[in-house]
Amino acid sequence: MKPSIIILLFMLLLFSNCIKEETTNNKFYLLNNSGVPIKILPTKSLIDTLILLNNESKEYDLSYQRGLSTGISYAPIIDTNFTTVIFNNSDTIIHYYDTLTHTGRYYKPTSDRSFYNTASYEKDIVNNSKYTRTVTLKYIFTAQDYLDAKK
């Protein structure tokens, strides 16, 4: 057998066994439609403070994960038991992970405005192809959020 035929058969065998891997791409958006600028303190450290001006949005491309899934369910910026949001540099509301009663203005995780409640987000799942899916998760700050912080 000629060497070129052997190489051709080897290449055919090699490439015929390739299986395309399924992936899910995750994207996260924060939008500020509250009417005032906001600061988000996702941890106790001021190093992680996010600032969103009125009508500003921030996009986070969170890369991909192996396999087709429903993607992320919560804001990737929250990594503690509470997240503080300050509206207009003065009015604060805290998003808590626990269901305890706290002082001040706050959202429990059962609130449809809490970072810790999946119902607080707009989620869009698009199957780009047989092997690729894009999941977009949005959290939109509204004028009602600002009013809740002011009460």
- Checking if the pLDDT of 1 tops 60, the result is no
The strand pairing partners of 66, in sequence order, are 23
Residue 75 CA to residue 43 CA, distance in Å, equals 13
pLDDT digits (tens, 9 = 90+) for 9-58: 666 666 666 677 888 988 999 999 999 999 998 766 666 788 999 999 99
pLDDT digits (tens, 9 = 90+) for 82-92: 889 999 999 99
Reported pTM: 0.79
Q: What's the alpha-carbon Rg for the chain, to the nearest Å?
A: 23
User: Where in the chain are the domains?
Assistant: 21-150
Residue 32 CA to residue 142 CA, distance in Å, equals 7
